[in-house]
Structure 1
Amino acid sequence: MSTDASPASDAPPEGRAVLPRLLAVVLGLTAALAVMLCAFALPSVNGGPHHAPLGVTGPAAAVAAIGEQLPDDAWEVTAYADPEALARAVENRDVVGGLGVGGDGVSVFTASAGGQQIAAAVGGLGGTLAQRQGVPVHTRDLVPFPADDPRGTGLGAAALPMIFGGMLPAIALIRLFPGHAGLPIRLAGVVAFALAAGAAVAAILRFAMGTLDGSFVTTWLGLSLGMAALAIPFLGLESVAGLAGFGLGAMVMMFLGNPLSGLATGPYWLPDGWSTLGQILPPGASASLLRADAFFDGAGAGGPVLVLTAWVLAGLALMLVADWRHRAGARRRQPAAG
């Protein structure tokens, strides 16, 4: 007579133990789906100028009237002495665009490379103002996209490659060089990959697609810093919390960092809170740095560089914590072994 004994792992779990875990999984996944939907949909639904800096020049009465007519939550108006000063402010990214009121009509100053939607909104303001006054409108795009890609299509397509440029090397190196002994090898690997991949992406966008302008070296180094600011924190999270830490970081960057980066629209087109969150995450800071390096001769690059450097240092700090924990554990094991 034989007894058919099933392994313990095949035995059905008890109901009391299953229900809390099942409920936690269902609620957790539902919350993650809700956050993902909000991150992708709400910025688009509520897209529009949000406290966007707008320059205005002309007679004092006309400038004051424009400031009074525009909603405060959409535009922040700054007066400039003359059209030349306003044009310099647009080129230096002090304002997203400007309106000039003069005897020959209304002049509209835009920078479509800084965000096509916001540039179109500035153009709409100028057209409305000119229509009310019955005068012609003159539009000057001071910082356009290059002629080979006048709509900036390649720039919007670079969002996911920039994010995967931080995730993929971390995944591959964690699998190839696991454990604490492989930690310095993984770090060296992601730095080397960031430099190589940054050069490749910059070359494709610049020379193959014609999307980018400006210094190739500066753009390359900025892209590499953005990829390192993703990959090194991923390594740090995995070294401290294992695959769970890596997975959490990947979810945040994919489901929040990607839709809130503002790469296709510019940060001022997103709602205030979403825009701020996006700019302190590596994808958003990388997008702002890429625009600054590729189109504005580095104007406005300081803030994104600080954000990305802080993420790199945070990842290194997590790796140091993991190393300290490993050494402390080794010291505790030595007396026990003796």
Structure 2
Amino acid sequence: MPSASTPDHVAAPATPPDQPKTNAARMLIGVIVGATVLVIVMLCAFALPAVKGGPHDVPLGLAGPQQVTQAIQGRLPADAWEVSAYPDPQALQNAVKQREILGGFVFGADGVTVYTAGAGGQQVTAAITALGTTMAAQQQVKVAVRDLVPFPADDPRGAGFTAAALPMIIGGVLPAVLLLRLFPGHVNLRRRLAGVILFALVAGATVAAVLQYGFGSLDGDYWFTALGLALGMAALSVPFLALESLFGMAGLGLGAAVMMFLGNPLSGMAGPHWLPSGWAALGQLLPPGASGSLVRANAFFDGTGAGGPVLTLGAWVLAGLLIIIFADRRSARSARADAA
């Protein structure tokens, strides 16, 4: 019985001539939309804190006749100023130096004396000074301004300290990326970890030396400042390695983006009380903000207020170490399973 003849080959369905154009159009639209979203995210991350910036829950002290201090306290916005009364000027000055308050006013027979701590935050210091000057003008008395904790004379505006947040973030990302290139694979995980810790110590000492002795931007004990900077860089590098050990380079990239777009603008290097309270709290929980607060405490306030930032940065380092240990053991079990 004759069988039906079959063709030697089956022709593939023809691709519609307009399909390549459609794919190219979709890719173009995707690039445009993605780039636009990225620009908006960057705009919100860097511009919104500046737009919404202002005094938020700033601790402020008053000293003088009770009738005057009570009247002033009732006039100040509660969401901007947390006002405390002090029995005498000396108690108020001590509170400024111990970081209980960021500044204060003393009302006396000779006028109004404004006490500030410039190293505690330039923008808040300017706001306190302006407020005191306005009060003196309203009462038609003289005003005197005294900065109890100023920045060093070589950098009176604290420009070097304020600009240190972004280099610290780059100092956390760069060694992680370089060590991943030099020592790839899970077999080198511990070697990479040792490398980032060593880099943090060397870079912390170097950056502290440049800021303190080169730029004149920092005061205080050099070694405490250097160790604080090293801890801050380790709190970035170790979690970056941990994210890469779990999710590959995509995890490291995501971590770097979060620190760049959130950690940097919310770091509060110019003073955390200038940000809205929720944003300020978030910024101080991220390594750039905690590292800046630690350097501020060590360099200008003899370590007062350093405990919280040390705990925060230590928690980031510990979390990164635990994730790396987990990834290392998971890799070892996978290697043994493959060998079996």
Equivalent position of 1:320 in the other structure: 325
* Structure 2: gaps (5+ residues): 1-17
Tell me the secondary structure at the aligned position of residue 260 of structure 1: coil
Tell me the secondary structure at the aligned position of residue 248 of structure 2: helix
Equivalent position of 1:62 in the other structure: 68
Aligned residue type for 1:99: F
Tell me by how many angstroms 1:33 deviates.
Answer: 3.2
Tell me the secondary structure at the aligned position of residue 138 of structure 1: strand
Equivalent position of 1:129 in the other structure: 135
| Matched-pair contact (CA < 8 Å) for 1:93–1:300 | yes
1:200 aligns with 2:206: yes
Cα distance in 2 for residues equivalent to 1:17 and 1:305: 52
1:284 aligns with 2:285: no
| Matched-pair contact (CA < 8 Å) for 1:97–1:119 | yes
Tell me the secondary structure at the aligned position of residue 94 of structure 1: coil
Cα distance in 2 for residues equivalent to 1:287 and 1:14: 52
Tell me by how many angstroms 1:240 deviates.
Answer: 0.7
Tell me by how many angstroms 1:31 deviates.
Answer: 4.0
- Given candidates 205, 227, 244, the residue that maps to 2:250 is 244
Equivalent position of 1:297 in the other structure: 302
TM-score normalised by L of structure 1: 0.90
Aligned residue type for 1:315: G
Equivalent position of 1:306 in the other structure: 311
Tell me by how many angstroms 1:330 deviates.
Answer: 2.5
- Given candidates 86, 98, 109, the residue that maps to 2:92 is 86
Cα distance in 1 for residues equivalent to 2:324 and 2:25: 37
1:34 aligns with 2:44: no
Cα distance in 2 for residues equivalent to 1:118 and 1:310: 29
- Given candidates 218, 221, 235, the residue that maps to 1:215 is 221
Equivalent position of 2:12 in the other structure: none
Percent identity of paired positions between Structure 1 and Structure 2 = 61
1:54-110 deviations in Å (ceiling 9; x for gaps)? 111112221111111111111111111111111111111111111111222111110
- Superposed, 1:256-267 pairs within 5 Å as 256-263=262-269, 265-267=270-272
- Given candidates 182, 186, 193, the residue that maps to 1:176 is 182
Aligned residue type for 2:192: R
- Number of positions where the alignment pairs a residue of Structure 1 with one of Structure 2: 323
- Given candidates 132, 135, 144, the residue that maps to 1:138 is 144
